[in-house]
Amino acid sequence: GQQVMQIPQYQHVQEGEDFTTYCNSSTTLSNIQWYKQRPGGHPVFLIQLVKSGEVKKQKRLTFQFGEAKKNSSLHITATQTTDVGTYFCAGHGSGNTGKLIFGQGTTLQVKP
Amino acid sequence: DTAVSQTPKYLVTQMGNDKSIKCEQNLGHDTMYWYKQDSKKFLKIMFSYNNKELIINETVPNRFSPKSPDKAHLNLHINSLELGDSAVYFCASSRTGTQYFGPGTRLTVL
């Protein structure tokens, strides 16, 4: 079945450093979504990418969707303590049955 | 106004008991889901309902039974609770595929 792999599982950075998490799917995706879950909280939708090669920015966050629509990345520039949390990618397969497959998540810790 | 709400927030119970978790959304979405998040934060879909009809039923023990009385509500009943059922259960709703999650119910089975 479809799998979505995400690396790294954990990342500790000093405040001000950059951070990137990578997402790879075993199959072509119709779209990819990114979510953030703060400690003790619930996943919150950040963004959706649909087009091959698409790049979107939200302030210090840059999201990319690969040309083959099988991988994606989230890059945070100059991390802040408010960026702490677990970042999940999630993809719909090409058939888009409605089932979203989540990656394992990357937990980001930021040292002040 | 809370978009997706769940009750209870915490549930501590003994093995073998039966318990229910309730979920309600006021977003007018047609599709609702139950997810299980384990201690390693892995999010796995369990069920999905669209307009009160079951459309996704992953490999979940039949001790878990979802019920959707109307499209704004999706409840989860669990029979004969086991230690391995301890997790955070999230309800979510969506219209266009974007998931709106509830605050979660932390279930601890002793």
What is the structure's pLDDT at A56?
Answer: 98
With CB atoms and an 8 Å threshold, state whether A102 touches B103: no
Which has the minimum average pLDDT: A32-41, A43-52, A87-96, B64-73? Answer: A87-96
Q: pLDDT by residue (tens digit) across B20-39? A: 999 999 999 999 999 999 99
CA pair distance B73, B45, nearest whole angstrom = 17
A107 touches chain B (CB under 8 A): yes
Q: Spell out, as residue ranges, where chain B has pLDDT lower than 50.
A: none
pLDDT above 70 for A27: yes
Residues A109/A84, Cβ–Cβ less than 8 Å? yes
Distance CA A46, CA B42 (A): 18
- Measure the CA–CA gap between B68 and B76, rounded to whole angstroms: 9
Hey, is the C-beta of B95 within 8 angstroms of any chain A C-beta? no
Q: Which residue has the higher pLDDT, B60 or A16?
A: A16
- Interface contact flag, A43 B101, Cβ < 8 Å: yes
